[in-house]
Structure 1
């Protein structure tokens, strides 16, 4: 069972920033970027693997590299870091025009992650429960997909959400410009745990991961 590790506040460089943005000026912020996925989509076109699952895995990979995106609060309200966080992602039910929220344990091996996640999309495409797998684990972060529209801005308004420290991602529809394929991505962040520097680093690492498609080109298991 994953257990978060409390942060030593006496040595934590971010202690004053955390206190300021959690207690004095509590706030979240969002940023929307266009990620170049030209190489990514080209690699997927020759693969049986699903692009949505590949997007979720890439997000989970870069999120799990950084403590600031794996943070939570202890029972006493102190900051702590999960050893690993798992992606929860939406599955649309076209008949009901609702969605279910499912999750897959993070796996550094994309093939293994895809093999675990792909059946969930088929199994729960007609789910009527919001959480068809039962109560979600505490150490998860959310990914939503809006494949029906490309956007240049997306902002979530979370009422009394100051204790929600995990990032939230929203993916849009691909758009083509000047021969490049672009993916809209909105990132929602609690300012107590991460600044613009951290979010920009996360986005840049995601861009690099989607540009180097060697992880996509490995043959699926028969």
Structure 2
């Protein structure tokens, strides 16, 4: 059962005015595209039987679940609230049909435990013909998609009438070589009512730190 989101104490919330401005006066989202140094991460996965895509998803989910601003939602009366946990919803490509399915897995702060649940989903739904083969996801999910055929330096989603969608949306690209290292393209789309540039920059920095020290890839002692 999904735990209910926790309403924010708006009166004492430092971002109250920012939230109200970007939710009602100037509704907007913004996108940042970056190249994250993934050299150590790629090397660790090359030595591991675990799946790179799921490691990327877990690292994103870990930093999302550290911060209230990336787990925000709106209650029926438009009051801001924070989910106790946000689970990743991610794409699985069907090469035969050239379509993808969207599946989700419960987030676990232990990567090994998350991988054990999520890896069978990739195999089970590799030939899926339905867009959501598991049915509708729980409301406390965020989206991750992958475009592993191309490396990009910019990516923007044009989402019509999405002014109530406060959860972040991530897009991953193909690895690219930059000098002596490998980089991972990452695009983040976020509602400005939920988070400012400072918060998104911190999320990207923390994601980068997880990739720079991938000791968690083959360990059950994962960083919090």
* Pairwise same-fold verdict (TM > 0.5): yes
Distance apart, 1:70 and its partner CA: 0.1
Distance apart, 1:9 and its partner CA: 1.0
- 2:100 alignment partner, SS class: strand
Counterpart in 2 of 1:74?
75
Q: Which string of whole-angstrom CA distances, capped at 9 and with x for unpartnered residues, describes residues 163-201 of structure 1?
A: 000000000000011110000000000000100000000
Q: How does 1:42-191 map to 2 (within 5 A)?
A: 42-191=43-192
Measured in 1, the distance between the counterparts of 2:218 and 2:143 equals 26
Measured in 1, the distance between the counterparts of 2:21 and 2:123 equals 44
- 1:10 alignment partner, SS class: helix
- 1:89 alignment partner, SS class: strand
Measured in 1, the distance between the counterparts of 2:78 and 2:8 equals 11
Distance apart, 1:135 and its partner CA: 1.1
- 2:218 alignment partner, SS class: coil
Structure 1: 4+ residue segments shifted above 3 A: none
Measured in 1, the distance between the counterparts of 2:45 and 2:148 equals 16
Distance apart, 1:217 and its partner CA: 2.9
Measured in 1, the distance between the counterparts of 2:108 and 2:218 equals 17
Counterpart in 1 of 2:15?
14
Measured in 2, the distance between the counterparts of 1:28 and 1:217 equals 36
RMSD across aligned C-alpha pairs, in angstroms? 0.8
- 1:117 alignment partner, SS class: helix
Counterpart in 1 of 2:213?
212
Distance apart, 1:218 and its partner CA: 2.4
- 2:211 alignment partner, SS class: helix
- Give the number of aligned pairs: 219
Q: 5+ residue gaps in structure 1?
A: none
